């Protein structure tokens, strides 16, 4: 694709980067077939190729973003399915991240949406605020269906109430800063990203991770001063806040790597993993020490499934006679290209593993997407659940809290992959297992 940026525009590092990306696109359109929004809406402007043209015109023109561009970029899930399909290696992720930052700086959204986005950016990354907000949303849940109107903002409000869980688990003491010693001879040492939303919604995921790793002889450090990875803000175009959050993590983990040594930074929320693995790119224009530290942390970042394969996971219980539908989170399969490891691990643990049709399509969670674009998100969720149910599995396993929240509450129970692996290696059974067994007893679903 030809571009017409001026030499002055190319002085800006982000524009320079986007120019290089745009020039790799050959307009072939292969990406459209695997783009969830194009599949649903059938509009070229809601396909990757269409968005690439819109972004190109916006950046080259150097003018404020228009309502049309914002509408179509906002509908993008950042699922990165297009990057898996693209034969030319177009880095759509960096392009759309730049577009979102550009939109944030040049487009004034209607005030209700500005308020909602500001609220999400200031609440979700901070566990104490998020917990307080969820407790408030719980009180409002019974009134969700009384929210009047069919506007997008009314849908957003209803979606927020709907997504708030009915009950919240208490905070887990295991997630506080500390060192969890390896059982027996130490074979490795890792830092764990305990996350933001996940540690409030499902602390059992971090608990299972810590139990499983320490049982395998791996010391797990929860460092002081770490927090949200920055992904939620990054995907809303709030680059400054995302960088500040990322900087805190980089400081904490690089200090740990240099003092006591680390084999990996373990991440069990794949949406966060994609961002942490990209810290090197995010800090590419920073002064030397920060750039180097960001690259070091990005190189250490590993999904929990990669670490378990590396250290040789093995179960200690007999096979559970359960069929699991493995839902491959977009951030894991498209963002990090981790596809085989979680399925292999579940099979090693003794589960029968099924993969739903259209596994490349997003479930509609996508960070804050299911709040900001609730109608498309709900359509994707229903489509995903239909495909999962047709596998005949008794429960759903996934490696990302966003997907688990999006798919929960339907006909099948959900569990994080690591909770199932921990159970089969001696940990407690996650509640989803008993629910799955009950479902199997009543409907012969997922049983042998």
Whole-angstrom distance, CA of residue 47 vs CA of residue 51: 6
- Near ligand SF4 by CB under 6 A: residue from 11, 13, 26, 434: 26
Residue 406 contacts ligand SF4 per CB under 6 A: no
Contact at 8 Å (CB) between 401 and 124?
no
- Near ligand SF4 by CB under 6 A: residue from 12, 30, 291, 379: 30
Which of 29, 149 has the CB closer to ligand SF4?
A: 29
First to last CA, the chain: 53
Which of 78, 296 has the CB closer to ligand SF4?
A: 78
Residue 99 contacts ligand SF4 per CB under 6 A: no
Which of 52, 282 has the CB closer to ligand SF4?
A: 52
Residue 27 contacts ligand SF4 per CB under 6 A: yes
Beta bridge partners of 218: 188
- Near ligand SF4 by CB under 6 A: residue from 22, 90, 197, 325: 90
Which of 31, 412 has the CB closer to ligand SF4?
A: 31
Residue 77 contacts ligand SF4 per CB under 6 A: yes
**In the bound complex, what is the minimum distance in angstroms from residue 48's beta carbon to ligand SF4?**
4
Task: Give the three-state DSSP class for 195.
Answer: coil
Alpha helices in 283-333 (DSSP H): 288-300, 304-311, 330
Segment contacting ligand SF4 by CB under 6 A, of 87-95, 158-166, 401-409, 424-432: 87-95
Cβ-based neighbour number of residue 233 at 10 Å: 28
Kindly report the backbone phi and psi dihedral angles of residue 229, in degrees, each rounded to the nearest multiple of 5, phi listed first: -75, -15
Contact at 8 Å (CB) between 226 and 195?
no
**In the bound complex, what is the minimum distance in angstroms from residue 163's beta carbon to ligand SF4?**
20
- Near ligand SF4 by CB under 6 A: residue from 49, 56, 327, 437: 49
Q: Cα dihedral sign for 55, 364, 267, 272?
A: positive
Residue 48 contacts ligand SF4 per CB under 6 A: yes
Closest CA to 139 of 164, 158, 120: 164
**In the bound complex, what is the minimum distance in angstroms from residue 391's beta carbon to ligand SF4?**
23
**In the bound complex, what is the minimum distance in angstroms from residue 123's beta carbon to ligand SF4?**
25
Cβ-based burial of 181 (10 A; exposed 0-12, middle 13-18, buried ≥19): exposed
- Near ligand SF4 by CB under 6 A: residue from 19, 78, 209, 365: 78
Residue 380 contacts ligand SF4 per CB under 6 A: no
Residue 33 contacts ligand SF4 per CB under 6 A: no
Total of chain residues touching ligand SF4, rule CB under 6 A: 26
Residue 19 contacts ligand SF4 per CB under 6 A: no
**In the bound complex, what is the minimum distance in angstroms from residue 116's beta carbon to ligand SF4?**
21
Cβ-based burial of 417 (10 A; exposed 0-12, middle 13-18, buried ≥19): buried
**In the bound complex, what is the minimum distance in angstroms from residue 80's beta carbon to ligand SF4?**
5
Do the strands 352-354 and 323-327 form a parallel or antiparallel pair, or are they unpaired?
Answer: parallel
Residue 283 contacts ligand SF4 per CB under 6 A: no
Which of 56, 352 has the CB closer to ligand SF4?
A: 56
Segment contacting ligand SF4 by CB under 6 A, of 11-19, 86-94, 157-165, 247-255: 86-94
**In the bound complex, what is the minimum distance in angstroms from residue 60's beta carbon to ligand SF4?**
17
Closest CA to 431 of 271, 214, 205, 268: 205
Whole-angstrom distance, CA of residue 251 vs CA of residue 227: 11
375: Cβ contacts below 8 Å, ≥ 6 apart: 152, 155
284: Cβ contacts below 8 Å, ≥ 6 apart: 13, 291
- Near ligand SF4 by CB under 6 A: residue from 13, 29, 42, 312: 29
Segment contacting ligand SF4 by CB under 6 A, of 7-15, 28-36, 153-161, 184-192: 28-36
Which of 126, 281 has the CB closer to ligand SF4?
A: 281
DSSP H or E segment with residue 351: none
What strands, in cross-sheet order, belong to the sheet with 301-303? 178-180, 218-222, 188-193, 264-267, 301-303
Which of 53, 290 has the CB closer to ligand SF4?
A: 53
Taken as a whole, the chain contains a residue count of 448
Inter-axis angle of helices 127-140 and 111-123, nearest 10: 130
Phi-psi region of 184 (alpha: psi -120 to 50; beta: other; left: phi over 0): left
- Near ligand SF4 by CB under 6 A: residue from 55, 76, 134, 440: 76
Q: Which stretches of the chain bind ligand SF4, using CB under 6 A? A: 25-31, 35-37, 48-49, 51-52, 76-82, 85-86, 88, 90, 92
């Amino acid at each position: 694709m030809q571009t017409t940026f001026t030499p002055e525009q190319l002085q800006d590092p982000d524009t320079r980067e986007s120019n290089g990306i745009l020039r790799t696109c050959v307009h072939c359109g292969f990406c459209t077939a695997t783009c969830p929004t194009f599949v649903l809406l059938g509009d070229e402007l809601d396909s990757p190729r269409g968005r690439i043209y819109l972004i190109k015109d916006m950046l080259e023109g150097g003018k404020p973003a228009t309502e049309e561009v914002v509408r179509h970029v906002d509908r993008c899930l950042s699922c990165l399915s297009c990057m898996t399909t693209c034969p030319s290696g177009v880095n759509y992720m960096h392009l759309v991240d730049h577009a979102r930052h550009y939109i944030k700086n040049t487009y004034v959204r209607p005030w209700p949406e500005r308020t909602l986005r500001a609220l999400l950016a200031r609440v979700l990354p901070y566990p104490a605020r998020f917990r307080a907000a969820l407790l408030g949303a719980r009180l409002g849940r019974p009134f969700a269906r009384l929210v009047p109107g069919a506007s997008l903002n009314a849908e957003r409000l209803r979606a927020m109430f709907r997504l708030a869980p009915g009950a919240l688990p208490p905070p887990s003491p295991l997630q506080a800063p500390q060192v969890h010693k390896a059982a027996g001879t130490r074979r490795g040492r890792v830092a764990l990203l305990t996350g933001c939303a996940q540690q409030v919604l499902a602390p059992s995921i971090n608990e299972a991770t810590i139990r499983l790793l320490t049982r395998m002889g791996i010391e797990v450090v929860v460092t002081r001063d770490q927090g949200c990875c920055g992904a939620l803000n990054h995907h809303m175009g709030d680059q400054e806040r995302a960088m500040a959050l990322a900087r805190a993590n980089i400081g904490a983990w690089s200090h740990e790597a240099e003092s006591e040594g680390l084999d990996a930074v373990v991440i069990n929320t794949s949406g966060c993993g994609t961002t942490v693995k990209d810290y090197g790119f995010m800090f590419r224009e920073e002064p030397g020490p920060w750039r180097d530290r960001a690259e070091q942390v990005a190189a250490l970042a590993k999904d929990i499934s990669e670490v378990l394969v590396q250290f040789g996971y093995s179960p200690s219980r007999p096979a559970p006679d359960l069929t699991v539908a493995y839902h491959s989170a977009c951030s894991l399969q498209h963002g990090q290209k981790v596809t085989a490891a979680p399925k292999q691990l579940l099979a090693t643990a003794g589960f029968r593993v099924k993969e739903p049709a259209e596994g490349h399509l997003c479930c509609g969670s996508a960070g804050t997407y299911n709040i900001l674009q609730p109608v498309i998100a709900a359509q994707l969720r229903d489509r995903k659940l239909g495909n999962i149910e047709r596998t005949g599995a008794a429960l759903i396993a996934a490696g990302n809290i966003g997907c688990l929240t999006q798919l929960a509450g339907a006909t099948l129970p959900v569990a994080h992959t690591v909770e199932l692996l921990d159970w089969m290696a001696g940990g407690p059974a996650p509640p989803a297992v008993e629910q799955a067994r009950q479902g199997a007893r009543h409907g012969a679903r997922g049983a042998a």
